[in-house]
Homo-oligomer: A and B are copies of this chain.
């Protein structure tokens, strides 16, 4: 498995905290990013779906990325989301990430117009890559049809790899469909494929996958990392069963509000629970139930003291 994009392992699509005024809270974000790396993340993918990235303004996204780098998160370990509906804005965000030295970018397809042709999507990425015009650019395609509706069919992935072999180096597959992940892994052996859920981490690694980029890495990176580190060991299936069960328990709740409520609880920082519209916070009773269920059934808790 030759890997040429530089990312592997356990990557968290970092949650974006907000302040009382509704603006993104860079201080809380940076603290969370450092904690995630200490918990065992091998990289961070800020400004993904879990980050409420599409609810942020372009300026907000760029300022927060600068804060992360300025505060000592290694830029090479950052794979920020930079794909938007617009070619111009996608190029702008990607250039900005490259100027900061980010190791790669995660690109959504343009998702407003539904049912675009393969040729239209190919042109979008070709023009974006040529528009950025940087040989060091590493693009990870972000396949998340349940949300974006527009996705990456295999022939499109193949065309992009063929046209830009040193740039289009991987994909996050948030289809939730293992059959699709498996088909991509089989079709493109040197491609860095990250399932969008740790449920498929072990299956993915056994087929040549690169790791996972998963929302729940925001609260369970250390357990997920254990599977990644021990995937060839005797305990692998047992460890995988544990993170699968925890993931399924968490995703019984609205994912983003639930993750924020969990962090708010264990940090003792109620403000962490704030989300931006169109999301709404998890009602207090729901949040308490989630936290209690996870603790009782899965022994789940978060320890922020060691990071303080």
> Interface residues, chain A, CB within 8 Å of chain B?
22, 49, 54-60, 85-89, 92, 109-114, 116-117, 119-121, 123-124, 127, 146-150, 276-280
Interface contact A280-B117, CB-CB below 8 Å: yes
Whether B56 lies near A88 (C-beta < 8 A) is yes
What is the chain B residue whose CB lies nearest that of A109? B278
Q: Is the CB of A88 within 8 A of B112?
A: no
CB of A92 within 8 A of CB of B57, answer yes
Bound together, the chains give a CA A112 to CA B148 distance in angstroms of 6
- Inter-chain CA distance A57–B96, complex, in Å, is 15
User: What are 15 inter-chain pairs, A to B, with CB distance below 8 A?
Assistant: A22-B87, A54-B85, A57-B86, A57-B89, A58-B89, A60-B88, A87-B276, A113-B279, A116-B279, A119-B280, A120-B277, A120-B280, A121-B278, A124-B278, A150-B278
Shortest A105–chain B CB gap in Å is: 17
- Which B residues lie within 8 Å of A112 (CB)? 49, 54-55, 111, 147-148
Query: What is the bound-complex CA distance between A49 and B112, given in angstroms?
Result: 9
Q: Which residues of B contact A148 (CB under 8 A)?
A: 112
State the copy count for this chain: 2
Report the 10 A-B pairs with minimum CB-CB distance, sorted nearest first.
A57-B88, A116-B278, A120-B278, A54-B112, A124-B277, A123-B277, A54-B85, A57-B89, A120-B280, A110-B278
Separation of A295 and B49 alpha carbons in the complex (Å) = 47
- In the complex the two chains form, what is the Cα distance from A284 to B114 in whole Å? 23
**Complex Cα–Cα for A102 and B277 (A):** 26
17 additional contacts, CB 8 Å, given A54-B86, A116-B279, A120-B278?
Answer: A22-B127, A49-B113, A58-B58, A58-B86, A58-B89, A109-B278, A111-B112, A112-B148, A113-B279, A114-B147, A117-B280, A120-B279, A121-B278, A124-B277, A127-B277, A149-B149, A150-B278
Bound together, the chains give a CA A89 to CA B49 distance in angstroms of 17
Which residue of B has the minimal Cβ distance to A275? Answer: B120
Q: Given the complex, which residues of B lie within 8 Å of A119, measured CB to CB?
A: 280
Instruction: Give the distance to chain B from A180, nearest Cβ to Cβ, in Å.
Output: 19
User: Nearest-CB distance from A259 to chain B (Å)?
Assistant: 15
